[in-house]
Structure 1
Amino acid sequence: MSTPAEQYAEITESNEETDTGLQEFRASIGFDLDPFQEEACRAVASGSGVLVAAPTGAGKTVVGEFAIFQALRSGKKAFYTTPIKALSNQKFSDLVATYGPERVGLLTGDMTINGDAEIVVMTTEVLRNMLYADSDTLDSLGYVVMDEVHYLADKFRGAVWEEVIIHLREDVQVISLSATVSNAEEFGGWLDAVRGDTRIIVSEHRPIPLFQHVMAGGRLLDLFAEEVSFDQVAEAPEREIAVNPELTKLAHRATAGSRSRGPRARGRRGGGGSWAEKSEPISTRVSRPDMIMALDRAGLLPSLVFIFSRNGCDGAVAQCVRSGLALTTTAEATEIERTIDHVASRLPEDDLEVLGFWPWREGLMRGFAAHHAGLLPIFKEVVEDLFLRGLVKAVFATETLALGVNMPARSVVMEKLEKFNGESHVAITAGEYTQLTGRAGRRGIDVEGHAVVLWQQDTDPAAVAGLASKRTYPLNSSFRPTYNMSLNLTAQFGRERARGILETSFAQFQADRSVVGMARQVRSREESLAGYAKSMTCHLGDFTEYVALRSELSDVEKEASRTITRLRRAAAAESLDSLQIGDVVEIQGARRLGRCVIIELDTAWNEPRHTVLTEDKHIRRISAQDLEGPLDVISQIRVPKGFTGKTPKDRKDLAASLRSALAESRPPRHDAPAFEFTGSNEQESRITELRSALRAHPCHGCPEREDHARWGERYARLLRDTNKLRSQISGRTNTISKTFDRVARVLEDFDYLVPTSDNKTLEQITDAGQRLRRIYGERDLLTSLVMETGVMNEMTAEELAGFVSALVFQARRDDHGPDPRMPTAKIQVAWETSVKLWSRLSDAEATASLPETIAPDSGLIWPIYKWARGSDLRECLRGTDLAAGDFVRWAKQVIDVLDQLAKIPDLNSGMARSCNRAVDRIRRGVVAYSNVVD
């Protein structure tokens, strides 16, 4: 029985909850709040801003939902912002189910549903644009929930989060929801500084315990010697939790086996066979179907399997289908089929094959699927829906799935612990590991979650344990002033106040705090440099000087190698341009196709991509990147008119003609010059000079030269890093406002800003600058510069659609060949204009020490132009490397920019009409029907 004092406290607390609405909210959700949720909701009810940092699946969104509840209760609006459209769509559906369609809206740039509703879900960019436009939709706004706020670290889009946080009215409560970050106090401190009273609530606790495993040869082994969960590992940082000794033994055996299979071992044989065969370790690799079956036997399905490759994900599904694996019952397969057929009925029948519908359907019917950015959006959303309903049991996904979309699983599998970052293969970080494996364990369904790492030949159990043990996920700002941002700030506040506002960014907040630590690093590195210098001391001469010569020689040789590669590629492209149908060539490049005949010419793209028939009757496409150098025409044969190679007989007959011509050794139609590729004259001359200088240097004859050189290389690397730190320290003070000043200078150079004596008046923005204020994107100024020339004014809708794609698209690979042939003369003029303007702009940016604007990219011009003219999807994607999902994603971004342009005040009326017509022509078929929100 409670005491009178306890009874009084309970009554008081109940009254407080009644006043704040917390009791009513708790009753509406039907479950008890965790302590961190309770604390955060009380802070929201008290009028404070809140930063909630907690693991994936811990239930952070409940705090955002309470803020929405409070908004409706007080007669105010609530905005719920997300980083991606898919997450916005998902949250919109959730809130509609709770509050009804009349009270919830959705704004994602390409979709508007009930935009004036009391609750509006939107992407963060939409809110940023509203703030700069001073939209009426902001009236009565009381709460903004910023889901996945740690996305402000994103290199390309992260600045948007900071812009929103800085510019929201002071009376708007901001509820920031973040993954667990190691510097939450720092980020919360900044929020408190710019937004006022902000409560920081951090929870390391996972409601569902997470256990770590390694799968070797189909066997599931615990990672740690003790049975410890996520929370227990986090709570024991002062002691190292031992790795499972069985894994350590396995690693030793794998290492020994690898050594035994080395070059020496391969040559040693005795009476009983090779030594390597006797030392072969047990098989530790497991196929993807076997891995899924092992998880099924262990009761660990449904599972998310992270494979850091789109092709890898699709290949995994294909392997499982070929193996005959099926994870669904007859009833489940029937339910999946109904869902799939509903989707198929809404898509153009002619597009199903090119969309990969049938293999996608086959995998889903068996209970597994791929999920990556190249998949059609509606396909991804169907996969997400079926997975949440428990019908799909295994999803092979890239790391893009880790962002926000609600797809928890009983287990998460990491196929590898490295990924391609666009430039090279790099190890994943502890933060990435934590975020990816955080989806394991479904609240209310599973009593525990499981993270599984697949054993690879070079797996180091200690390194895996390190990833699973660390909780280091620092949130670092990526904020920098853009052209559009700078103009909008200047227009609203004048230049001086704009500079002050930018100084309140999280980027500057971190820069100011980091200088002390950086200075400490410099002192430490200077001590190490002194030690390295001592170790590389040579009695014959100045070894530092010798190291500098070696380093420069290495750099020049690498640059010469890149020059040779560029020359070889250009020569190959030029030779492809000169080919004719029927020419016989020999292809010795990476693909080694051997002797082939040209059967189709295609020069519509960035570089020629011809179709050939090989001697063994295979049809292949070739481009310059497949060749080691220019092609020689070694013979020529007649290719039947209209030859397609679709029938085996046609291919067989033409291959026979090819072999016959080669046997007759007819002379080539023309002789191609022999090419010897070298670096530039300056490079070759400098290489010769440096090699001579090295040989003449006194230290070159030192018997300990290579030992000194190893220390010298360490010294050189550390010195470069230390000098970078020194440079960063000197530039940390007022870094953001300095960048703003450099951006302003470029805007002045191109007549978007007019300098004034006081730099405070609003009149300094020109008419072109006012138009640029409405253009958002990574090529904002370039887009404006092209538009101001008038080359887009007389374009038809399809021409405008095709050309605007060049100001939006960015190829996944840096694979630029010669300029393509454009669909029309007007697009050709606009393309040439954009390239010239980009060259001028990049020069100005280099002078101002600003990052270079991304060059226009022609890779999407033909596909979008064809699509806008009504071509089917197969025709639009023919000859490209675009996946259907990529095409739809880029098409939607083209729509977004066209929509921005159409709404610019005082825009040329003809161009505005063409923009609107272009939007209508692009938004059809798979582009129009790309999500489940109807």
Structure 2
Amino acid sequence: MEVLGCLPPVLPPLQDQVEEYLLTPELLPIHSAANSRKWFPRVPDPHRLYTLSPLPPGSHLEVERDTASGEITGVREVASRDAGATAKNSLSLSRAPGPPEEVVRGSTTNYPFWPGGFPEPEVDTETVEGADIFDPENFLSSHPRLSGGITFGEAERAAEEKNIEDEQEGRQEAGLVVNLADILTEQKIFEVDQQPSKKGGGSLSLEGLSQEEASLVQEFSIEPPPPRKQEFVLDTSSTKASPIIARNTEWAENIDINAPVDDFAVRVPNPACTYPFELDTFQKQAVLHLEQNDCVFVAAHTSAGKTVVAEYAVALSLKHMTRAVYTSPIKALSNQKYRDFKVKFEDVGLLTGDIQINPKASCLIMTTEILQSMLYNGSDLIRDLEWVIFDEVHYINNAERGHVWEEVLIMLPSTVSIVLLSATVPNTIEFADWIGRIKKRKIYVISTLQRPVPLEHFLYTGTGGRSKDDRFLLVDARSTFVTKGYNDALAAKSDKNKKGQQMHGPRQGRQHLGEKQEKNLWVGLLDHLVRRDLLPVVAFTLSKKRCDSNAHLLLSQDLTTSREKGEIYTFIRRCTDRLQGSDKKLPQVLHMRTLLKQGIGVHHSGILPILKEVVEMLFAKGLVKLLFATETFAMGVNMPARCVIFDSIRKHDGTAFRDLVPSEYIQMAGRAGRRGLDTTGTVMVLCKSEVPEMSDLHRMMLGKPSKLESKFKITYSMMLRILRVESMTVEDIMKRSFSEAVQMANQSKYQKELEQIEARLASEPEFSCLICKDIKEYYAIARDYTKQRRHVYTAMMGFLGVVKAMSPGRLLVVSHGQYQQRLACLLKLDQRDQNKLTVFVLRGKEEVEALSGEEIQRKEVLAASQTTFEVLEDTSGHTCLEVPPGSVAAITAKTLKISADKVIANVKKRLIPRFKDDPPSQSVQDLVNQMQRLNESHGEDLPLLSLLGDLGVREMKAVGQVHSLECQRSKVMDRACLECPMFQEHFGQAFKRLNMEERAGRLRFLMSEEALQLHPEYKMRTQVLQQLGYIEQNKTVTLKGRVACEMGSHELMVTELVMENVFGKSPAKEIAALLSCMVFQQRNCSEPALTPELKSGMKQFKEVAENIGVVQQECGLLEPVGDFVDQFNFGLIEVVYQWACGMPFNKIMELTDVQEGITVKCIQRLDEVLKDVKNAAHIIGDPNLREKMEAASAAIKRDIVFTPSLYTQ
């Protein structure tokens, strides 16, 4: 019952409100006309419409001058080629500079500068942009759709031209005009000597002119054209040719350093840099060429003084107010060079992955990878570069990083001159010619003949005690191998081994000494060195573990004085004061301090970087008397010792143990001998268990160093960086690599030969025959058939049934050289020599012994259609042939009874001149008679054996090859031209043209990009990038590809992780730990203890890597999926995670058996990866990931891991 008088509801029910809100959105306030239509009052300003955004000027003014007087005669407007050019759209050096933050490192969105030696891009004159827009002839006078138009000034111009012609004719009739150009051309009065006169000018000859003509010439003061500027060439005519000078090439010239430079001060009156000592001849030669802005390649022995050349190039850049870049293969060497150059020059900067000191300096020290990145990223610093100095160029042989040197040399602009410094290598001219050819600049090669301090090499057989002085000279200072010294060492070692066996029994092949014996050896050796005054000494020990153990064994030895101990202690304390807290008391720091106070040092990659620098500096001061080092110490800064010792001459190269190659031995042994202090350097090889083979020692000590070889490879990073630029292609880079040097050098020869063939083809008459219309197809199919037949019969020799059938006496049909489809009798099958066959064939007495390659090819193609062997009219001659199995055309079922050995012996005997007229032996004559009868019978009753049916070939692949061969044979026999009664005559006429067309096609292929060695791999990698979405089908780089360009290494892997958002839910510390797999390379290490989150992340990483590996295999690349996944090593993941969490360094080293130095290097390189991912996050617009990368980088950048280098302080 309702109560009367109650108030109605004030608001509509809530359900009605919700329905109205959801079902009638047009009633929402946002659609109200009052909200959507508002008018803002403003003052009209029509003049704003006239304002245009500023555009770069499309033209500039050029002054016109009188060529004789030099006076300005006018000004003309010229189109600006680089108008509007920026780093985002142009490769020109004249483009507008980029923003200040991109001056040093550039940007991945920038174009590189146009590389030197590349042909200039062709201008399309058909387009408006390419045409001369200021030429009135290009102006349009009518609309394209109108039949006529209006022209202005035509009548006036025609009248003007007519008046000028009439005036000239009148003057000529009056004899007032003399055409001097015609006179000079007809009489050839400009005779400029080939050799310029002392004044440098040409001479004007008036001989042969009449008196009137001569007076005219003198009256008008006609001067001859100036002689062409001669290229600077060192005058060595007064000296004898040096025997070491290699053959010069078009782009490389070897300089004879035997030629004295007595007038150096005259030729270089104002040197950019002076030295307190007399320069060596090779240094003077190099300086002369640097002054001429030439590129030089200095290949000199260790400690010869190559640094002088580098310093002079830097001094020249300072003098010219330009820049110089000094590149080194490793970051540690860059730090050392920075300190050395800082002493000599003030304006020096350093650029490495984690350090940037004075980046706008005139002289910049950097690793080659940094310069590579600057070139690809279009750094504006490249504009100012005058010199790039490549130190340790022989590092181009490094399999992992050698390609970087090649890419940098290819990408350098033409304005940059090159200085190459290297140890002695045998193919300097070849390497220099390649660089000169790709840069279109001559390279001057300067090589030293001998070391400034000669070396003496000894074998040390002592084991301590009485034998501690047992050393034997093996190679003297004149590089003469002393065989007596080797024999004496062998005898001494043999006596010791016999005594040892009598006392302790046989060693059972043990290669190393026990700990006690090792200590006795080194203690005795040190005593020997001290008494012979041979300290300081570098003991190259090719194992980090043995370096540490040997140093530990000698803790009881004291090699320093009390004063030296004080200096060492003070220096170490000053250096370690930079360390924080517990880092000062790390076990390695304390142990190294103890060793150094005794005068003993250790130097290898497992040592902390700051401690390695301490060791290097103390060694340079002469306070380290004995240094145990790996071969990395031999690279870089000049730190010579009085003596060098090889603990072993065998090393593990990552695959297996092997002996040192000559270049490795020479590089390390070169540290012996201090210039100005020692007359000779001493090198000792320790013979611990036995004396190495004489041949191995001779090859290692006196053998030729390794040649410079190309290690160029196609990387995804290089491809993506080049594909960004429309004007360049990856093939442009590939064809200029060192691996393609020979092919590139032959391009002009190929082009010339192709032009000759095309000219001959143009004059060759076309062949015509109604029946032989398909003779061209016959030629192509027959050629393919013969190639396929060679391949099949070569492969068939691997089957037992075929080998059994190939017994002496077996009749074959062979096609070899001039003997095509010739019946032959098998005499011998040599399975040890690639299944080579010795066969007996008949021949005519007048048969030509050697046909041209073209004639042999003609016979071969004709023979492809023969159904039987060739029947000879004259069989009076015979011969034996050695043929490969591919020369077999058929195997018959018939076997002759012969004495094969006697036949071979008799034929060979009659090849000797004094027996050539002897009659054949009875065994030979019997064989001749049997084969003559078969020839006369035209091969009747001579069935052929089937490879599949009769010879039992059953393997699937081989069966397919045989069927394919039979199919090809059918195609040959189906050609209509074979029905022509004059086929052979017609084929002879057509063959010449077809052969030339084939040769022309071959030459075009050799000149094409498809002939490049790495072109197949490039195609495969292009497919990988397309399939993974880094480039479009037209090779346009996508966003994903731009992200990959930011990566310094493992570009596909890191990009896939970023784009698939693998890091989305992970905290910064876990991301840093997981990314350590990108930089950690040591294979053998303890198993890390992982959290569930890290295990999950590691699983995701491996899945991404496996997906990339599968795509690569699908696209044809040979790298196994497992190998691609295994390159990402998670052995340091726990260490990095705890380090990012703040654990002290001494605690994280308890979690792993990886040495301290390797751990520090790994974390330092990890910071570079984090920066790359941060830049990628900026490109894709992911602020969350960017913040995580900044947090991860901040978490790992602390304490001893990122302590600044001592060389930079």
| Pairwise same-fold verdict (TM > 0.5) | yes
What's the TM-score, normalizing by structure 1? 0.68
**Higher Cα radius of gyration:** 2
User: 3-state DSSP class of the match of 2:1132?
Assistant: helix
Aligned match for 1:870, one of 1142, 1157, 1162: 1142
Alignment of 1:527-546 (within 5 A): none
How many angstroms apart in 1 are the aligned matches of 2:1076 and 2:487?
A: 53
Whether the 8 Å CA contact 1:247–1:461 is kept in 2: the answer is: no
| Whole-angstrom distance in 2 between the partners of 1:266 and 1:460 | 22
Equivalent residue runs for 1:481-520 within 5 Å? 481-493=714-726, 497-509=729-741
TM-aligned CA deviation for residue 253 of structure 1: 5.8
1:292 CA displacement: 2.1
Which residue of the other structure, out of 779, 785, 802, is the alignment partner of 2:1056?
785
Say whether 1:118 aligns with 2:392: no
The answer to whether the aligner puts 1:48 opposite 2:299 as a matched pair is: no
Deviation at 1:540, TM superposition (A): 12
Partner of 2:673: 441
Give the conservation status (yes or no) of the 8 Å contact 1:794–1:910: no
Q: What are the residue-to-residue correspondences of 1:443-462 with 2, within 5 Å?
A: 443-460=675-692, 462=694
Q: After the TM superposition, which residues 378-393 of structure 1 pair with which residues of structure 2 at under 5 Å, given as runs?
A: 378-393=610-625
**Is the contact between residue 557 and residue 598 of structure 2 (CA under 8 Å) also seen in structure 1?**
yes
The aligned amino acid for 2:268 is: E
Alignment CA distance shift 1:738-1:10 (3 Å): closer
What is aligned with 2:1188?
Answer: 914
Distance 2:745 2:529 in 1: 47
- Given the superposition, is the C-alpha separation of residues 508 and 11 from structure 1 closer, same or farther in structure 2, using an over 3 Å criterion? closer
Against the structure 1 CA distance between its residues 298 and 13, is the aligned structure 2 distance closer, same or farther, given a 3 Å change threshold?
A: closer
Shift of 1:306: 0.4
Pair 141,250 (structure 1): closer, same or farther in 2 beyond 3 Å: closer
Q: 1:414 to 1:12 in 2, by over 3 A?
A: closer
1:248: which partner in 2? 487
Q: Which position in structure 1 is the counterpart of 2:469?
A: 219
**In the alignment, which of 349, 359, 370 is matched to residue 602 of structure 2?**
370
1:243–1:461 CA contact under 8 A, matched in 2:
no
Give the letter aligned to residue 1098 of structure 2. Answer: W
Distance (Å, rounded) in 2 between the aligned partners of 1:808 and 1:285: 37
Q: 1:816 to 1:389 in 2, by over 3 A?
A: closer
Secondary structure of the corresponding residue to residue 47 of structure 1: coil
- Does structure 1 residue 470 correspond to structure 2 residue 716? no
Match of 2:53 in 1: none
With normalisation by structure 2, the TM-score equals 0.53
Instruction: Give the counterpart of 1:901 among 1173, 1181, 1185.
Output: 1173
8 Å Cα contact 1:216/1:284 also seen in 2: no
Q: Distance in 1 between matches of 2:422 and 2:600?
A: 30
Q: What CA distance in whole angstroms lies between the structure 1 residues aligned with 2:1155 and 2:519? A: 30
Contact map agreement 1:248 1:461 (CA 8 A) in 2: no
Gaps of 5+ in 2: 1-237, 239-259, 463-467, 507-516, 747-796, 809-827, 835-1008
SS of 2:638's equivalent in the other structure is coil
Aligned residue for 2:1041, secondary structure, equals helix
**Alignment counterpart, residue 162 of structure 1, candidates 394, 406, 427:** 406
The more displaced of 351-360 and 35-44 is 351-360
Deviation track 1:174-229 (CA, whole Å, cap 9, x = no partner) reads 111111111111111111111222111111321112111122212253433xx732
* Deviations, residues 280-328 of structure 1 (Å, cap 9, x unaligned): xxx999622322221121111111100011111111111110xx21111
Matches within 5 A, 1:265-664: 287-321=521-555, 324-460=556-692, 462=694, 463-493=696-726, 497-509=729-741
Whether contact under 8 Å (1:180, 1:473) holds in the other structure is no
State the match for 1:177 in structure 2: 421
- Gap change, CA 1:888 and 1:733, over 3 Å in 2: same
Q: Determine if the alignment matches structure 1 residue 16 to structure 2 residue 276.
A: no
2 CA distance for matches of 1:358 and 1:301?
25
Q: Which residue of 1 aligns with 2:215?
A: none
Q: What SS does the aligned partner of 2:386 have? A: strand
Q: Is the 8 A contact 2:299 2:447 kept in 1?
A: yes
Equivalent runs, 1:49-68 vs 2, <5 Å: 49-68=295-314
User: Counting helix residues as a fraction of each chain, which structure ranks higher?
Assistant: 1
Which residue number in structure 1 is paired with residue 381 of structure 2? Answer: 137
Task: Tell me the CA shift for residue 445 of structure 1.
Answer: 2.9
Structure 1 equivalent of residue 1100 of structure 2: 833
Distance 1:537 1:176, change over 3 A: farther
Residue 916 (structure 1) shift: 2.1
1:796 Cα offset (Å): 2.8
Contact 1:799-1:824 at 8 Å conserved across structures: no
Match for residue 476 of structure 2? 228
Aligned counterpart, 1:190? 434
Cα distance in 1, alignment partners of residues 494 and 1147 from structure 2? 51
Would the alpha carbon gap of residues 194 and 214 (structure 1) be closer, same or farther in structure 2, given more than 3 Å must change?
A: same
Q: Which amino acid is the alignment partner of residue 1100 of structure 2? A: T
Q: Which amino acid aligns with 2:318?
A: L
**Counterpart residue number, 1:811:** 1082
Counterpart residue type for residue 464 of structure 1: L
In the alignment, is the contact (CA less than 8 A) between 2:300 and 2:423 conserved in 1?
A: yes
Of structures 1 and 2, the one with the larger relative CO (CA 8 A, separation 6+) is: 1
Conservation of the 8 A alpha-carbon contact between 2:735 and 2:744: no
| Counterparts of 2:1045 and 2:518, CA distance in 1 | 58
Q: Residues 174 and 794 (structure 1 numbering): CA distance in 2 closer, same or farther, change over 3 Å?
A: farther
Identity %: 29
2:332 maps to which residue? 86
Q: Is the Cα contact below 8 Å between 2:596 and 2:624 reproduced in 1?
A: yes
Q: Is 214-223 or 246-255 further displaced after alignment? A: 246-255
Q: Distance in 1 between matches of 2:431 and 2:285?
A: 19
Post-superposition shift, 1:538?
14
Matched, 1:885 2:1154: no
Structure 1 window deviating more from structure 2 (183-192 vs 399-408): it is 399-408
Q: Residue deviations 1:234-290, cap 9 Å, x none?
A: xxxxxxx44252431431464587699999x979xxxxxxxxxxxxxxx99962232
SS in 1 for 2:722: helix
- How much does 1:423 deviate? 2.8
The count of aligned residue pairs is 680
- Secondary structure at the aligned position of 1:174 is classed as strand
Contact 1:313 1:370 in 2 (8 A): yes
Amino acid at match of 2:473: L
Could you say which residue in structure 1 is the equivalent of 2:874?
none
Cα distance in 2 for partners of 1:39, 1:911 equals 56
Q: Distance in 2 between matches of 1:11 and 1:307?
A: 45
Q: CA-to-partner distance for each residue in 1:619-662, whole Å, 9 max, x for gaps?
A: xxxxxxxxxxxxxxxxxxxxxxxxxxxxxxxxxxxxxxxxxxxx
Secondary structure of the structure 1 residue equivalent to 2:450: coil
The match for 1:748 is: 1026
- Evaluate the alpha carbon distance shift between residue 547 and residue 171 of structure 1 in structure 2; reply closer, same or farther with a 3 A threshold: closer
Structure 1 partner of 2:1117: 849
Counterpart for residue 871 of structure 2: none
**1:148 offset after TM fit, Å?**
0.7
Please state if 1:200 is matched with 2:467: no
Deviations 1:483-540 (A, max 9, x none): 1011001112467x321221101122268899xxxxxxxxxxxxxxx9xx9xx99999
* 1:73 to 1:266, Cα distance in 2 relative to 1, 3 A: closer
Cα distance 1:334–1:258, how it changes in 2: closer, same or farther (>3 A)?
closer
